[in-house]
Structure 1
Amino acid sequence: MSTNEDEKGSRADLGGTYTFAGNALTVNRLGYGAMQLAGPGVFGPPKDEAQALAVLREAIEKGVNHIDTSDFYGPYVTNEIIRKALHPYPDDLVIVTKVGALRGEDGSWNPAMSAEDLTKAIHGNLERLGIDSLDVVNLRSMGDIHQPAEGSLEEPLSVLIDLKKQGLIRHLGLSNVTPKQLSQAQEMTEIVCVQNHYNLVHRADDHFMDELAHQGIAYVPFFPLGGFSPIQSNALAAVAEALGATSMQVALAWLLQRSPNILLIPGTSSLGHLRENLAAADLTLPEEVVTELNAITDKSLPKA
């Protein structure tokens, strides 16, 4: 999607901007993840579709121009809601989707890396979003999000490269991958972003992220607020109280300050939480606070 400078200039920059994909895409660093627009367990329709539509529309009004989604959310639900809420899309909106999984009838998440599965997924995303070409497609490697498994992505990535040559995809990224897998993928095509598990307390990707920043590749942490296990600790709560902010705002602000190549996609189905998340872009953490937050690890979290 091309950038309309007049329209872009009329909305706030959330967390500043970042340009990636060979200077082809510029987005505000604080975006929106659509996963929670689906029903419980990211399965089925939302409890309140009107609220879901309102969340998307307000996100765009407030300056969000980077939305992360997938046809396997729901499945199909989030893309259909995005189209209903926002189509025709703003010129500067970047929609990023991912492929590599299918949902079972029981809500399970199952790998779907065959040529047939991937081709069907790309066409499904295009149809439900109502567009002719996808801005960015992430190849999602399923498995343990805490320690992605090594394994060749050559075959599925080759399928996506062919679809890119057909004009159905503009740029390619990877999700839930290792540095070795990135290097192997880069021998085949340009990779513009990596989407891995990372947040204030889960920081296994620290060195990987720094290398990506050096290469000019965007890093998009999924579950920036903990996902299905929200980040909570006494230390984080104390910092937030001292700053007059919420714990989640502090966690998002910490990510924005962690590295300039981080693009955030916190998700919510609540207008109140959306406004809270977006306000994190205005929160600057003093150096001593960052040092205190850096000392928080997953070992400091309350045990379930």
Structure 2
Amino acid sequence: MTVKPDWLRVKAPQLERIGNVKEILRDLALNTVCEEASCPNIGECFNAGTATFLIMGPACTRACPYCDIDFEKKPKPLDPTEPTRLAEAVHRLNLNHVVITSVNRDDLLDGGASQFMACIDAVNSVSPNTTIEVLIPDLCGNWNALELILQAAPEVLNHNTETVPRLYRRVRPQGNYDRTLELLQRTRQLSPSTYTKSGIMVGLGETDAEIRQVMQDLRTVDCDILTIGQYLQPSQKHLQVNEFVNPEQFADWKAFGEEIGFLQVVSSPLTRSSYHAETSQGINETLSTLKS
């Protein structure tokens, strides 16, 4: 395996703060993508008292070869108490901004949209000033399910593009690039006040020109926010890293994204979909206004 460069090293976490967040998560029997997907920023985020909640999991119905979330376990029936427990965690952690994501639940008729809706409603009832970001799967193109989620009025709807079209068959075999773009476009049409967001992994063999074309495609469907980060191989059984992209290239993509009209571009080797979502948003004041 290729040795990681210096710019991918992270500081050792403060175990006391991590322990406090983990204690709340264990007490409320909640999953986080931070733990399930082996995120490199878990120490920093848990130290800051934040987490990206993973609902309807941890077992996933898809087997994306880049992802560390378990797909070998059989998904369980939805837990009707999960939204209440999640809302309680948001309250205990005193979150200003919460990110709620999920595994793919292709076994459900609505892809889990009703559970997303219930979680959003529960957080709003317990912590009405908390802004809510949902990072959703593609729902197998069920646009009625998408509309159900949007009826709950999250401030941000995120759906990741993940990679360039040429690599979809290898990287995201059960995904569809055009469907991803359509989901974001329909979100804009169904809920113009909701910010749309997407993310791209790099280092899997894509070219600079391909990344820029994806960025252009996302702006064509009026995507507001973009994250770009380095893919890191979770284990030997996952896709190998093709290259470690240098920080200067990430800075170039950020500048290009701002030039073509994204409201915000978060682009760095350690950037992940919800990395610094609670603080790095150039739209933070606007989000707060929507809650007032």
TM-score (norm 1): 0.47
Q: TM-score, normalised by structure 2?
A: 0.49
Taking CA–CA contacts closer than 8 Å with sequence separation of 6 or more, which of the two structures ends up with the larger relative contact order? 1
